[in-house]
């Protein structure tokens, strides 16, 4: 996990919603591509992307940092996509 990601995650954990925006900006395209490759539907992929980031925000307190943030986010995306 990058130092920038780690700092942003710590700010998010203390309730700073604005700190989550740079994480969304950084990973949005990768998350969308992942969802699109799974679903093969552009609109569904955007819906999954949005839902995955909502779930990530809600679950951020449980992120232990033992893996990269994207690895953790990847699993969330795949779970949301599989639920479709």
**Could you tell me the residue ranges of all domains in the chain?**
3-82
Are 19 and 12 in contact by the 8 Å Cβ rule? The answer is yes
Among candidates 28, 68, 67, 69, which has minimal Cα distance to 51?
28
| pLDDT in the model for residue 22 | 97
| pLDDT in the model for residue 3 | 84
End-to-end CA distance of the chain: 29
| pLDDT in the model for residue 63 | 94
Instruction: Tell me the CATH number for domain 3-82.
Output: 1.10.1740.10
| pLDDT in the model for residue 2 | 80
Are 27 and 70 in contact by the 8 Å Cβ rule? The answer is yes
**Residues of the chain where predicted confidence (pLDDT) is lower than 70:** 1
What pTM, to 2 d.p., does this model score?
0.93
């Amino acid at each position: 996990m990058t130092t920038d990601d780690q700092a942003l995650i710590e700010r998010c954990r203390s309730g700073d919603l604005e700190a989550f925006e740079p994480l969304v900006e950084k990973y949005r395209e990768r998350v969308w591509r992942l969802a699109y490759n799974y679903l093969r539907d552009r609109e569904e992929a955007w819906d999954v992307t949005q839902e995955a980031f909502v779930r990530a925000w809600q679950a951020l307190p449980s992120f232990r940092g033992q893996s990269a943030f994207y690895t953790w986010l990847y699993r969330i995306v795949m779970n949301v996509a599989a639920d479709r």
